[in-house]
Amino acid sequence: MEQRTFNLEGTDNPEEIREIVSKVVEKVDTNHIYLTIGGKQQPYKYWFTIVTGDYANRFREEKEQFLKVFFGMYPDCVVSYFTPTQIGEQESAGTTFFVNNCNRENMIYTCFDDRRLAPFDEEVLPRVLNSSRAYYEKEIEKVRAFRKGAIPFMDEGNFELAGFMFHQTLEMGYRLAEHFLLGHTHKGHSIREHQNFIGDRSSTFGEIFPQDIEEDIRLLNKLDKSYVKSRYSKDFIIEEEQADLIKGSVDMFILKLEKHIPAELEKCQRRIDGQSQSKIQVPSPQNNIDKNPNQEPLLNKLRELEGKYCGTLEPFQARERYSLKLINGGYQETMLMITNLMKVCMMAIENPHGATKWLQEPDIVIADTMSHILDLMPYDEMEFLDEVRQLLLEAPSND
C-alpha cells in the first residue's frame, strides 16, 4: 500500500489519509483514488473521488453502503464513487467533472503500476470539452426558458403556477450544476433535496435558500409543494411577496450557473492548452464527420455545421434521463407539430369553456403543454440556419 500512495505533500495529515486509503482498498475493489483539498469557501476539508471496479448491482450496493458508513466517521471528508462504466456514460453525455477532478495531479492511489492510467486519455480531452460545451449550452437555454415562462403567470397574478415554473427552473438548474460539479445528479424533484445533495461539496449552490433563515425555509417549503399542489390543488396559495422573493433567488441561482459552469469548461480548456500543442489540438465537432475532398468547400462546411447543430431528432443518451421518442418525417413535420400544439393552447386560452371531465385544470394543462413545446423546439437547428445564411452571403458566386 505504501508504495502506491502518493501526492500527499499538500495535506496536513498524510498519515490519516493513508489510513483511509488503506481501509477503502481493503474493502472495495479500487482502481484509482483522487483527492481534492477544500479551501475556505468549501464545506469539506478533503474530497475523495474513488473509481471502483465494475460490480454487479447486488455487490455495488453493498460497497456503496460501506463507503457511506465509513466516511461518516470522518466529518471533514466527503466521498464520491464511480465505476468505469458510469464514468464512460457521463463522459458521453458531456461533463468536465472527471477531467477536472480525476487527473494525475490529484491522484493519490492507483492499483496499476503506471500512474498515467486515468479515466481519460489526453487525446480524448478535446472531444470531452466539445460535448460538455454543447450539453451546457442546451441545458442552460432550457433553464432560462422555464424562468421566462414564469413571467406571464406573475403578470396575471397566478403566483401558484409561477411557483411551479420557478420550481422547474431550479430543478433543471440543479441537475445541470450537479452534472458538472459532482459528476452525477440527484433523481428526486425536491429542491431541498437537490440543495442538500450538492451542498456537501459546493457552498455556492448549497445556500440558495439558507436553512438558518426562517423566511428562506418557508419559501423552500412553498417551492417543493408547488411541484404538485400548484397543478392539482385549488387550496394551494403563494402570495405575491413570496413569489417575488422566490424570483429573486431564482435569478441569483441562474447567475451562479452562468458563472461557475463556464468556469469548469475553462478549467478543462486550460488543461488542454497545457498539453503539448503538437499532441493535442482542440477539434471542432465536425472532426467526427467524414469529408470528401472532392466536394465543394461550401458543401463541406455545411456538413460540418450539420454535425454541430442538427441533433434534435437524434436520441439523447444521458444517464438518468428518459426520452419519449416521436417518430415523424423530419424537421418540417416537427415544426408543424410544434405550431399545432401552440395553436391548441392559444385556442384554449382565447376560448375558455371551463373544466370538463377530461380537462379539469385547463390552466395547468396549458402550462404543462407549453413546457413540452419548449423541449421540442430545435434551438440548435435555428443557429444552424443562421450559420448557413451567413455562409451563403459570404460564398463567391462560383462556389
In this predicted model, what pLDDT tens digit does every residue of 136-170 receive, in sequence order? 999 999 999 999 999 999 999 999 999 999 999 99
**Residue 139: half-sphere exposure toward Cβ, Cα within 13 Å:** 29
Distance CA 306, CA 398 (A): 22
In terms of pLDDT, which residue wins out, 14 or 311? 14
Taking 60 as the threshold, does the pLDDT of residue 357 lie above it? Answer: no
- Stated length of the chain: 399
Model-wide pTM > 0.75: no
Q: What is the DSSP letter of 4?
A: G
Q: How many Cβ atoms are within 10 Å of 15's Cβ, its own excluded?
A: 9
pLDDT at position 114 is 62
Residue 288: its pLDDT value, please?
A: 41
Does residue 371 carry a pLDDT above 70?
Answer: yes
Q: Read off the pLDDT of residues 167-223 as tens digits, 9 standing for 90 and up.
A: 999 999 999 999 999 999 998 999 999 999 999 899 999 999 999 999 999 999 999
Residues forming a β-bridge with 30: 52
Mean pLDDT of 292-309: 65
**79 in Cβ contact with 65 (< 8 Å):** no
CA distances from 57 to 60, 83, 91, 337 (A): 5, 11, 21, 41
Q: What's the CA gap between 249 and 219, in Å, rounded?
A: 10
What mean pLDDT comes out for the span 7-24?
A: 91
pLDDT at position 364 over 50: yes
* Longest CA pairwise span in the chain (Å): 76
Q: Which has more pLDDT, 396 or 156? A: 156
Question: What average pLDDT score do residues 71-97 get?
Answer: 89
Cα–Cα distance between 196 and 364 in angstroms, integer?
29
Looking at residue 250, its amino acid is V
Q: Give the mean model confidence (pLDDT) for residues 239-259.
A: 96
Q: Which phi and psi angles does 267 have, rounded to 5°? A: -60, -40
Is the predicted pLDDT of residue 119 greater than 70, yes or no? no
Q: Which amino acid is at 148?
A: K
